[in-house]
Amino acid sequence: MAQAININEIKNLYPDEWVLLGNPVMDGSKIHVLSGIPIYHSKDQKEVCYIGRDKTSAFDKITLIFTGTFKPTRKITGIFNRIK
């Protein structure tokens, strides 16, 4: 079985991709991933979910991460900008 690698290495290996990780190690808050074993990766989130699902049986825990940054899809304007 492959070795766990830290999150910075994962981001360098798979930039701007969805990565399915096996046996992730989380920080104390259980929010941020520190390391894990990459199982499957792709730019397409649905592909990772569907194809990666069959590759997860050997792991106790799995998680899905995105190694890029999310871009806002639209500008949010408040109603107060329109009232004078």
In degrees and rounded to multiples of 5, residue 16 shows phi and psi of 55, 40
Q: Give the integer Cα–Cα distance in Å for 38 and 3.
A: 9
Q: Give the integer Cα–Cα distance in Å for 16 and 53.
A: 20
Does 73 score more than 90 pLDDT?
no
pLDDT bin (cut points 50, 70, 90) of residue 82 is low
Q: What is the SS3 assignment for 28?
A: coil
Q: Give the integer Cα–Cα distance in Å for 61 and 58.
A: 9
Average the pLDDT over 14-30 and give the result: 95
Tell me the whole-structure pTM to 2 decimals.
0.80
**Domain-by-domain residue ranges, the chain?**
5-81
Average the pLDDT over 57-77 and give the result: 85
Q: Give the integer Cα–Cα distance in Å for 33 and 17.
A: 15
